[in-house]
Amino acid sequence: MDLIEFLRHEQKRLHQWMREAVSDLTMQEWNTVPAGNGNNIAFLLWHSVRTEDNILHYILQGRAPIWNEGHWAERLHLPARVQGTGMSTDDSQALHLTDPELFMVYVEEVWREYETYLAGITDGGAELSARMVAVKPLGQMPAILAIGQVCISHLFTHYGEISLIRGQFNKQGTII
């Protein structure tokens, strides 16, 4: 197994777990903000998918994200430019989904394109390891690290948050 095969495996696992974690949520559960400074599941998944979309399209491919191309901000009545990074607690906690089913159409499109992108890499990640990219607010890093650190490791932490919130609704959390 090379590095790209590992990343593909982990990304597919992350996507499946997130898909399952939101599959049985009510509208209230999507949008309930937990006590303290945490964020609701809607924000956590929105931020995660927007991050993947931005890294894949803008950072790695130099194209507009699916969010922009598909006019998803307007369709979902969500912020057009931000993706959650650096948002104030008040702003992030105020984010609510009104149409989770439509939102999941966007989610699945991003996930499908990302999985296809990784499946098309045939050099084991050599080119991505050599290419430097700028990821705000982290700075310059090898492109392979943008995938592994930002789109997989970082997003698994958000999956953990989602799982914890599910437990507050008396629903099953992480199943390993």
pLDDT per residue over 76-106, tens digit each?
A: 999 998 999 989 999 999 999 999 999 999 9
Q: What does the pLDDT read at residue 176?
A: 64
Q: What does the pLDDT read at residue 175?
A: 66
- C-beta of residue 40 within 8 angstroms of C-beta of residue 96: yes
In angstroms, the CA 73 to CA 67 distance is 7
| 115-173 pLDDT per residue, tens | 999 999 999 999 999 999 999 999 999 999 999 999 999 999 999 999 999 999 999 87
pTM above 0.75, yes or no: yes
Query: What's the burial of 157, exposed, middle or buried (CB within 10 Å: 0-12/13-18/19+)?
Result: exposed
Describe the chain by its helix, strand, coil percentages, rounded to 5: 65, 5, 30
Walk me through the domains of the chain, giving residue ranges and CATH numbers: 3-168 (1.20.120.450)
